[in-house]
A and B are shown apart, each in its own frame.
Chain A
Amino acid sequence: MIKVENLKKKFIRYENKKIKKEFYADNGITFEANDGEIIGILGPNGAGKTTLLRMIAGILEPTEGIIKFDNLNYKNNEIEIKQNIAYLSGNTKLYDTLSAYELLKMCSDIYGVQKEEAEKRIQEITKILKMENFLYNKIGNLSTGQTQKVNIARCLVHNPKYYILDEATTGLDIISSQIILDFMKQEKAKGKTILYSTHYMEEAENICDRVIMINKGIVIKQGTPKQIKEETGTTNLRDAFFTMIGGGSDEE
């Protein structure tokens, strides 16, 4: 289980390189994600989704608040937590000079997967994701879809308990997006917890057990897609979102 309590992140921005301005990208976010759940983090650009997931993935340090993974926290158990996480964002880049196989081998070494076990897992993942044709090709020479498959394979190689996916389908074609959505369904079925941020509301409606809607760094609504639609008297999450923010787009 992932527990997030009153999570805040303050940034400092300089206007005209002189005037110091503090602002909260996330301001008091609280939620829980149970095992075997896909939680959708929804909101427009600049809502604070990426900052939230980066804090949960341990890339950013929160200004305030608590993040717990099965009662473990970053302060005392950073390495143990990260060992059970896979983080994949739309911007996640891989090492172009390595082959897909070398990358997967490197990841299994880093996550401490035993040599024989790692080899077995790489072969399995290669079959599942149909990567046989390009496993030994340099990542720099792969297509976007093939690279995304390698990215997913990288997340699977250490058999993590938690997936943090930040707009992982953004900019991908329909086939590459489907690869990620299928992958999420399969992992959910195995009892894994998935945090999935997106601004594609329809996609979230179809795949998420619960959604958390964020705007300007605060949670404006959370619940199952069905609950949210009922409470807002709308037929889809897009309309529900606009109803809650009171009209048109409110992107920063």
Chain B
Amino acid sequence: MKNNLWNILKKELREMFRDKKSLSMMLVIPIFVPLIVLGMSALFDVQANKDIEEYNKIGFAYELSEEEKNIAKELDIEVIEGNTDELKNKYENDEIDLYITKEGNKYIINGNDSEVTTYAKTLMESYFNVYKEYLQSGYLQENNVNPNDVLNIITVEENITEEENMFVSYIRNYAFVFIIMAITVSATYPATDTTAGERERGTLETLLTFPIKSRDIIVGKFLAVTIASILTGIISLILAIISVAIAQNAFSIYEGLNIMFSPISIVLSVIIIIAYSFFISGLCIAIASSSKTFKEAQSALTPLTFISLFPGMIAFMIGVTGTPLLSIIPFINYTVVFTDTSAGNVDWLNIALMVVSTIIYISIVLTYIIKQYKSEKILFSKE
């Protein structure tokens, strides 16, 4: 009798692990984490290492001087000469990547907005900078002025320590945000099934006739959903660590960088996964048990997937760092604490605030659900 909480937990876990849908939510969703890590790394790699031959065919609608040809050669630009109409045609047929026209001293870079054009435009900007400097030097020399005195009248040196490579930060934080989303997705189905689903199947009435306190029933269900969520979170984290290790060796953008999760960020990830699993499981059960039907519960829980993803994602994209206030705002706090830790800034106050606020939220949510389970509305809401 004293172990009825354990009996309910055992029953819920047994049902959950035998239900194909719950099981697939738990185990299949984490597979998206390595797909995202490896997919994004491949995308970054392609963007960072675009072969110059893919965007260096430039049309010139005027005759180039020897010096211009030399600069083009130095910058690996393949020169295609012709009149404007010919070049326009070639551009439209994808034979060249851009074309340049000239009106007196004005040079016009022509093309449409596309990825290749953007790369080609950047290349031509470098070309014109070099050519402009060549012309300025010639003019200054003709007027007996040392070009160096004018062109290098000041010098600028960069002394910026890059805290973390942008790609490294993106890949780790995206992986973590998707772990959070995987936990949310994996919590919604069992939470719906164990509350609205149990009511719809008619087994809740049977359960309520047992000599079990409603508190034990709901806490048992809550713990079962939490365990499923933690399991998803841990599997996702393991897959994220493995895929990051694979990405480290497979993509040249990470050469010379360490993209691996540090031991402290792994430990804190586990703490955040546990805290978030408790939080989201309670929230899902509260929402699902208030719904009249399984379908209504599913519809009510769908927005949670987006709510769990976007605030955290936006926070790290705009570079928000942890503050005590942000550490108690649900959803954002988990990502911000992880982002800070991942960047090497472990703030124990923010971590403690995240944990304490989560405990408070869970207590509020559980009190609400226990009250609901004492009410007959939970059983007879359809009648």
Contact = CB atoms under 8 A, between A and B. Distances in A.
Interface of A: 57-61, 78-80, 82-83, 85, 87, 89, 91-98, 102, 106-107, 109-112
Nearest to B202: A93
Given A82-B212, A91-B202, 6 more contacts: A78-B213, A106-B7, A109-B3, A110-B210, A111-B210, A112-B1
Interface string B329-347: 0000000000000000000
A57 B210 CA distance: 10
Contact of A94 (B206, B208, B210): B206
B202 A92 contact: yes
Interface in B192-221: 201-203, 205-206, 208-213
Interface string B8-33: 00110011001100000000000000
Contacts of A87: 206, 209
B202 to A, nearest CB: 3
The 9 closest A-B pairs by CB, nearest first: A93-B202, A82-B211, A112-B1, A87-B209, A97-B18, A83-B211, A79-B211, A109-B7, A93-B203
A58 B15 CA distance: 25
Nearest to A79: B211
A82 B211 CA distance: 5
B201 A93 contact: yes
Contacts of B379: 59
B209 A85 contact: yes
A109 B11 CA distance: 11
Interface string B140-153: 00000000000000
Given A58-B209, A79-B213, A93-B206, A110 B19 contact: no
A109 B7 CA distance: 7
Nearest to A92: B206
13 contacts: A58-B209, A78-B211, A79-B211, A82-B209, A82-B212, A83-B211, A87-B209, A91-B205, A95-B11, A95-B15, A97-B18, A98-B11, A106-B11
Nearest to B210: A110
Contacts of A80: 211
B210 A82 contact: yes
A53 to B, nearest CB: 11
A96 B18 CA distance: 10
Interface of B: 1, 3-4, 7, 10-11, 14-15, 18-19, 201-203, 205-206, 208-213, 376, 379
Contacts of B203: 93-95
B211 A92 contact: no
A164 to B, nearest CB: 8
Contact of A102 (B1, B14, B208, B212): B14
**Secondary structure at chain B's binding surface: helix, strand, loop or mixed?**
helix
B11, B15, B19, B211 — most chain A CB neighbours (10 Å): B211
B213 A89 contact: no
Contact of B1 (A57, A61, A79, A89): A79
Contact of A60 (B7, B206, B376): B376
A110 B376 contact: no
Contacts of B19: 97
A82 B212 CA distance: 8
A102 B376 CA distance: 28
B211 A98 contact: no
Contacts of B206: 87, 92-94
A200 to B, nearest CB: 22
B328 to A, nearest CB: 37
Given A94-B203, A95-B203, A97-B18, A110 B4 contact: yes
A89 B205 contact: yes
A98 B376 contact: no
A46 to B, nearest CB: 12
A64 to B, nearest CB: 15
Contacts of B18: 97
B154 to A, nearest CB: 76
A85 B206 CA distance: 12
Contacts of B3: 109
Contacts of A112: 1
A98 B4 contact: no
A109 B3 CA distance: 8
Nearest to A158: B211
A59 B15 contact: no
B209 A110 contact: no
B211 A110 contact: yes
Contacts of A106: 7, 10-11
